[in-house]
Amino acid sequence: MKTEQLYDNWKKLRSQIELGDGFIGDVMNQIYQYERLKRKPLFDVQRFLEFVSVHPIAKAGLIAAGAIGGLVRAALMIHVLLFGN
């Protein structure tokens, strides 16, 4: 047999596959169950941003933490530049 004939026979056999009743419903149910049981991440950025945007105290806390972190970093850089390691 030629390669083209083998390929044509394979295409014919492949196209004759019959799906059982309810196959699509079973697949969709499995997808739904997978999505429902999927673990939520430990840290969700979207929820964090929503929380911060709603609570003004959280905004102030983040700004204060950033300012303190910046001051500490600046102090460490000055220390390294003036005194070495």
Q: What digits encode the pLDDT tens for the residues 1-53?
A: 688 888 888 877 777 777 778 888 999 999 999 888 887 788 889 899 999 99
What's the pTM value of the predicted model, to 2 decimals? 0.49
Where do the domains of the chain lie? Answer: 3-37, 45-83
How far is the C-alpha of 47 from the C-alpha of 31, rounded, in Å?
Answer: 25
- Predicted confidence band at 75 (pLDDT cuts at 50, 70, 90)? very high
Per-residue confidence (pLDDT) for residue 85, from 0 to 100:
65
